[in-house]
Amino acid sequence: MTYTYTTRIYYQDTDAGGIVYHANYLAIAERARTEALREMGAPHAEMVAQFGVMFVVHRVKLHYQRPAKIDEVIRVETDFTGLGGASVTLCQKFMRGADSLAVLEVGLGCARVSDGRATRIPRAWVARLKI
């Protein structure tokens, strides 16, 4: 299932030329992942409160294809592509209309809040991820 997050590009997202600064793609992708998890019934805050664990980014591969510019409306399409005992993989595509702007391959690890160590994803959460 694809989860879609739509946003506008603001001045704070861009460099001096009005193009999205490369690192800001990661911040936008984080918001899109957070909303996708919320839509799946698996919000971060609830995961922390109920199980004392959280997802952390442990790997990201980002391929820039076309620039996003100030005041444009873009969407991020998030697809969860894999589920392991302690990890989730996903693909996030930045789109402007039919144009692909960037593609991220992201690996999330499940970690304990108390010490940051890797741990298995709680069973109740696995069912919510619907991968």
Active-site position among 13, 15, 99, 115: 15
What is the side-by-side strand order in the sheet with 99-112? 2-8, 73-83, 87-96, 99-112, 53-64
Number of structural domains found in the chain: 1
Domain CATH code at residue 70: 3.10.129.10
CB 79 within 8 A of CB 39: no
pTM: 0.92
Predicted pLDDT of residue 68? 97
Cα distance between residue 100 and residue 30, in whole Å: 18
Mean pLDDT to the nearest integer, 32-48:
93
- For the chain, state the CA radius of gyration: 15
Residue 79 is among the residues annotated as catalytic for this protein: no
Predicted pLDDT of residue 129? 84
Domain containing 107: what range?
Answer: 2-129
